[in-house]
A and B are shown apart, each in its own frame.
Chain A
Amino acid sequence: MNAVPSQAGPDAQFRAYLEAGEFRLQQCGDCNAWVFFPRLLCPTCASRALVWRKVTGRGRVYSRAVLKRKPERGGDHAIVLVTLEEGVRLMSRLPTTAPEAIAIGMPVIARIEHAGDDPPTVVFMPDEDRP
C-alpha cells in the first residue's frame, strides 16, 4: 500500500509511484489544475495543497520531431510532446511505433517503461480505442 516514503520530495514521490506501477500526478486542491513536473506549489495559483492522483494516461500528440540517425547509431528516433487529458504536457516517446506512423493529434495512451537500471519513465502507445 504505502510504496511512497512519507518524507520523500515530489520528484522521489513521482518516481516511487511509477515504480509501484502507478502513473500519478499532482492536482491542486484549490484551483484543480494538474501539475507537471512535480513540485511543491501550484504554478497556476501558488497553492501548496497538492494531492497525488491517478491520471487516465490518455492524451494526444501535440508535436513530434524525428532525429535522423544511421541504423548503426540506433536509427531514426522520434520524440513527442503529449498533452494529457488533464491538460499538462510532457516530453516522451512511442517506443513501439515507427516514427513515420506518429502524427500530430493522434490519440495515445501512457504506459510505464522500466528499461534496465534506469528509473522508470512514462512512454506512450497509440490508443486504438479513440479516433
Chain B
Amino acid sequence: MSRALRGKAAIVGVGTAGCGEAPGFSAMDIQAQAAMAALDEAGLALGDVDGLFCANLSHTFPVLSTLEYLGIRPRWFDGTNVGGSSFIGHAISATLALDAGLCDVALICYGATVRSDAGRMVPAPEQPPYEVPHGPRYPMIAYALAAARHMAEYGTTPEQLAEVAVAARAWARLNPEAFERDPLGVADVLASRMVMEPLRLRDCCLLTDGAGAVVMTRADRARDLPKPPAYFLGGGTASYNRQVSQMPDLTVTAATDSGARAFSAAGLDPADMDVLQLYDAFTINVILFLEDLGFCPKGEGGRFVENGRLAPGGSLPVNTNGGGLSCVHPGMYGVFTMIEAARQLRGEAGERQVPSASTVLCHGNGGTLSHQATAIFGTAETL
C-alpha cells in the first residue's frame, strides 16, 4: 500500500454541538454550530472552506443542503454515503483532495436530531427485499446475529460483551460531554432488558442528538494554525456486502482489509497505537474490530477485553470519550472518533487524557457490518 498520503494533511479543528438533546433545533442547525466551533479552533473562517464532505440519513443531498445552509461555495465535494463509517472515508479522500490541490480547507461534518425527532433510528428507505419479509429490526438484527455466531463459535460470553459497555462508561464518567455518566458494572449490563437475544439494552449504543465537525488542511498550513495538528498517517476502506445475510462470515468483518490497508499506508503496526476509537454501535463491534484490526487473534476478543483492559487504567485505551455506548450516538458516529482522536493527540482530553498519546486509530463501521473504514492519526513526532 502506498504511503503517498502519509503526513500530507492534518486535522486542525474539531467541534461538536447539540450532543445529547437539542430540542427545537434541526440537524442543519447543530451541524452548523459544530462546523463553526471547528473552524474557530482552527483560526479559519467559513469562507475559507472550499472542500465539503458530508453524509447523513436525513437529507437526500447532504452536501448540497449543507453548503446552502452555510452559505459557502466549495470547489470540491464528497457525499459518499456508506453508513456511519463514511466520515473516516471522507478523511482519506479529503487528504487526497488537499494533496492534489482540489481544495485547501476541508470540512467534514455531520448532524442529526434523531432523539428529539423520533426517539429511534429512522430506517433507510430501501431495505433488503429478501430479508424484510422475515421481520428483522434494523440495524440491530445484524449485530445480534454476529454476536450469537461469535458466542457459538468462540465461546464469547455475555459477561465479556458487558466488559465493553463497562469500559466505555468508565471513560464517559471522565468526560463532561458524555451523555450517560452514571456508574455501570457488568452486573448492571447483565440485568438490563434483553432487547434482541443475545444483546441486552446496555449492549446497544445510545440514541442521541448531536453534531460533529472536523477541519483538515495540508500539513504545511496546519503547522501555522493555533492547535497542534493531528496528522493523517494512513487510511483504508473495505466492503464485501450490504445485507447481513450476504456477509461471508459473520465473525469476520471487512475491517481485516481496511485495517491492514491503513497500517500499511501508515507504516505502523497495531502495537504502535496508543489509543483506539472503534465505532461501538453494539458491544460485539468492539470485540470484532479488536480481532480484525490485529490487536488479538480471531476468537480471542472476548477474553481480550476482560479485566478492564480497555478501560481507564487498562493497557489499551479504547473509546476514551465514552464511545457510542455512553458518550454520543446520533445515528451515525464515525466523525466523533476523529474528534476524540484530535483531542487526545493535542493533550486536551482533561481527566480522560491518555498520557503522551502520539498515535490514535479511528475505525468506522457502516450499514449492518457492511462497510469498514480505518484511519490512523499522529502527532508531529510520528511524521
Q: Which residues of A does B touch, CB under 8 Å?
A: 11, 36-37, 62-68, 77, 79, 81, 89-93, 99, 104-105, 118-119, 121, 123
Contacts and interface: CB of A to CB of B under 8 A. Distances in A.
Interface centre among B133, B144, B149, B250 (most CB of A within 10 A): B133
Interface residues of B, number: 28
A67 B135 CA distance: 9
A104 B148 contact: yes
Contacts of A37: 129-130, 246
Interface of B: 128-131, 133-137, 141, 144-146, 148-149, 152, 193-199, 243-246, 250
Contact of A66 (B128, B146, B196, B245): B196
A89 B245 contact: yes
12 contacts: A62-B149, A62-B250, A63-B146, A64-B148, A65-B144, A65-B145, A67-B137, A91-B130, A91-B134, A104-B152, A105-B152, A119-B133
Nearest to B193: A68
B134 A65 contact: no
B283 to A, nearest CB: 14
Contact of A63 (B152, B195, B196): B152
Given A90-B130, A123-B134, 10 more contacts: A63-B148, A65-B145, A66-B196, A67-B141, A68-B196, A79-B141, A89-B245, A90-B245, A91-B128, A93-B134
A15 B81 CA distance: 31
B377 to A, nearest CB: 35
Contacts of A93: 134-135
A121 B245 CA distance: 15
Contact of A65 (B128, B130, B197, B245): B197
A65 B196 contact: yes
Contact of B141 (A36, A65, A121): A65
Nearest to B197: A66
Contacts of A65: 141, 144-145, 148, 196-199
A63 B148 CA distance: 6
Given A62-B149, A63-B152, A65-B145, A91 B136 contact: yes
Contacts of B134: 79, 91-93, 121, 123
Given A62-B250, A63-B146, A79 B136 contact: yes
Contacts of A77: 135
A93 B136 CA distance: 10
Q: Which of A66, A118, A121 has the most CB of B within 10 A?
A: A66
B250 A63 contact: yes
A65 B152 CA distance: 12
Contacts of B246: 37, 89
Nearest to B130: A37
Most buried by B among A64, A67, A89, A104: A67
